[in-house]
């Protein structure tokens, strides 16, 4: 079990991994990233993550010199060096090292990093715990300022929200957008269930287009579960029959309570459980087929 960091083509043990203090990712948070877990030892939904990384780069006018194949090779090298049964990795691309200032021409070469550490396999749907969430007072960034669709290394909005959730004794905080509609968690996307219909905020509500969120939408439709992407107020979350979070390290995780108000019977609901099992089955099929997300499910 090991932690390693791949930096610009070389692999280092964690304690030897360094980056310049003049890197604009450090100076300004001028960077993008993706978090990816393995399944069966191989990166799950890798292609989708790499494509979103490039979308984030384009939005920040960050020129990527590496190709998709270069990225895959870097991931393979980092995973092989770590040699963990299962890993969680973070791919980071920064503007690079340069003089103080905001100009793009101050940095000549982006810096690329892949941090790999061990990860326990996800608990199966039978034993995966639920979480308590709170609706936060801190709003999600207005998409007219910094688009939440950009997965950037500047995470102060999320960090402040996570701190509030922790102070209120919850495992996750749900952020509203400036219009007062439900947006997303500090680290997750959100789904609610009412009268057998699954609902999740629309991308236009100012949320990250989560890779796991998209996979769950596909799984729900393939499973015959009615699902809608639409705006809804916090009152709908509080009145939901069920609710769950999605994310790379959670897959589908039930919500037990919101603002200390119990949802349903305080346990995972039947539709949440159905989607948890369907997600696990779809992932297992991809792993068995050697398909780790290079094509749509």
SS3 215: helix
Residue 70 belongs to what H/E stretch?
Answer: helix 68-82
> For 203-229, how does the pLDDT look when each residue is reduced to its tens digit (9 = 90+)?
999 999 999 999 999 999 999 999 999
> For 76-110, how does the pLDDT look when each residue is reduced to its tens digit (9 = 90+)?
999 999 999 999 999 999 999 999 999 988 998 99
SS percent in the chain: helix, strand, coil, step 5: 30, 30, 40
| Cα–Cα nearest to 13, from 82, 75, 74 | 82
CB 149 within 8 A of CB 112: no
Residue 254 belongs to what H/E stretch?
Answer: strand 251-258
Average pLDDT over residues 286-292: 77
Does residue 296 have a pLDDT over 50?
no
**What does the pLDDT read at residue 287?**
87
> For 144-188, how does the pLDDT look when each residue is reduced to its tens digit (9 = 90+)?
998 989 999 999 999 999 999 999 999 999 999 999 999 999 999
Q: How confident is the model at residue 48 (pLDDT cuts 50, 70, 90)?
A: very high
Radius of gyration of the chain (CA): 19
Does residue 12 have a pLDDT over 80?
yes
| Cα–Cα nearest to 91, from 58, 116, 66, 125 | 116
What average pLDDT does the structure give for the chain?
94
SS3 per residue for 146-192:
CCCCCCECCCHHHHHHHHHHHHCCCCEEEEECCCCCEEEECCCEEEE
Q: How confident is the model at residue 56 (pLDDT cuts 50, 70, 90)?
A: very high
**What does the pLDDT read at residue 264?**
87
Q: Which residues, in sequence order, are CB contacts of 251 under 8 Å at separation 6+? A: 122, 128, 212, 276, 279, 280, 283
**What does the pLDDT read at residue 197?**
98
Average pLDDT over residues 190-212: 97
Give me the domains of the chain, ranges plus CATH numbers. 4-118 (3.30.470.10), 131-288 (3.20.10.10)
> For 272-288, how does the pLDDT look when each residue is reduced to its tens digit (9 = 90+)?
999 999 999 999 998 88
Does residue 69 have a pLDDT over 60?
yes
CB 248 within 8 A of CB 218: no
**What does the pLDDT read at residue 44?**
96
Average pLDDT over residues 101-126: 93
Does residue 292 have a pLDDT over 70?
no
**What does the pLDDT read at residue 291?**
63
| Reported pTM | 0.94
**The sheet that has 31-39: what strands, in order across it?**
10-13, 4-7, 111-118, 87-94, 31-39, 42-43
Percent of the chain whose predicted confidence (pLDDT) is above 70: 98
Average pLDDT over residues 221-239: 97
CB burial of 39-66 (b: ≥16 within 10 Å; e: otherwise) equals beebbbbbbbbbebbbebbeebebebeb
- Rounded to an integer, what distance in angstroms lies between the CA atom of residue 22 and that of residue 125? 45
Does residue 297 have a pLDDT over 60?
no
């Amino acid at each position: 079990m090991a932690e390693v960091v791949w930096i610009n083509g070389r692999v280092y043990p964690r304690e030897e991994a360094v980056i310049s203090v003049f890197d604009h990712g450090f100076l300004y948070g001028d960077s993008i990233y993706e978090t990816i877990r393995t399944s069966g030892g191989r990166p799950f939904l890798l292609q989708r993550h790499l494509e979103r990384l490039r979308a984030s780069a384009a939005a920040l006018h960050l020129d990527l010199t590496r190709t998709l194949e270069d990225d895959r090779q870097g991931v393979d090298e980092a995973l092989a060096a770590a040699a963990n049964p299962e890993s969680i990795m973070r791919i980071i691309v920064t503007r690079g090292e340069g003089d103080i200032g905001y100009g793009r021409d101050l940095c000549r070469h982006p810096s690329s990093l892949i941090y790999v550490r061990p990860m326990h396999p996800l608990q199966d749907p039978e034993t995966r715990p639920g979480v308590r969430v709170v609706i936060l007072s801190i709003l999600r960034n207005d998409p007219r300022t910094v688009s939440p669709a950009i997965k950037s290394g500047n995470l102060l909005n999320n960090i402040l929200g996570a701190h509030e959730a922790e102070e209120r004794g919850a495992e996750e905080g749900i952020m509203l957008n400036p219009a007062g509609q439900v947006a997303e968690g500090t680290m997750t996307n959100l789904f609610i269930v009412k009268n057998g219909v699954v609902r999740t905020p629309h991308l236009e509500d100012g949320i990250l287009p989560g890779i796991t969120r998209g996979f769950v939408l596909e799984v729900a439709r393939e499973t015959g579960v009615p699902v809608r992407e639409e705006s809804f107020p916090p009152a709908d979350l509080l009145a939901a029959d069920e609710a769950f979070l999605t994310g790379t390290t959670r897959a589908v995780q039930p919500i037990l309570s919101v603002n200390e108000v119990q949802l349903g019977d305080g346990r995972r609901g039947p539709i949440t459980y159905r989607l948890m099992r369907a997600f696990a089955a779809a992932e297992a099929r991809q792993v068995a087929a050697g398909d780790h997300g290079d094509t749509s499910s």
